[in-house]
Amino acid sequence: MPHVRFSEDFDWKPLPQVTIAYRAGWSGLVTTPCANSAVQANKAVRLKTPRKGEKDGDT
C-alpha cells in the first residue's frame, strides 16, 4: 500500500455505493488503486515509504 499526500480534496469510489473523501493536505497509506487514481488526476503525490521513527514520508 503506497503512501501519498493529497494536494487537493479527492473522493475515491471503490464501489458504486461507497465514497471515501480525502482532504487536501492529508497524507498516509491508501490502497494502490486509490493512489493510482489520485496521482493520475493530479490530486496526490506519492511519498517514499517512511522508516520507523519518520513521519508520513518526511526525511
Please tell me the predicted confidence (pLDDT) of residue 55: 67
Q: Is residue 56 part of a domain?
A: no
Structural domain boundaries enclosing 13: 3-47
Q: Is residue 30 part of a domain?
A: yes
Question: Strand 44-47 relative to strand 3-6: parallel, antiparallel, unpaired?
Answer: antiparallel
State the total domains in the chain.
Answer: 1
Given a contact cutoff of 8 angstroms between Cβ atoms, the answer to whether 49 and 3 are in contact is: yes
Q: Is residue 31 part of a domain?
A: yes
For 34, the grid coordinates are: 486509490
Tell me the whole-structure pTM to 2 decimals.
Answer: 0.79
Q: Is residue 54 part of a domain?
A: no
Q: Is residue 57 part of a domain?
A: no
Q: Is residue 26 part of a domain?
A: yes
Phi, psi of 3 (to 5 degrees): -95, 135
Q: Is residue 38 part of a domain?
A: yes
Closest C-alpha to 35, from 10, 52, 16: 10
Q: What is the pLDDT tens value at each position of the chain, 59 positions in all?
A: 899 999 999 999 999 999 999 999 999 999 999 999 999 999 999 999 877 776 655 54
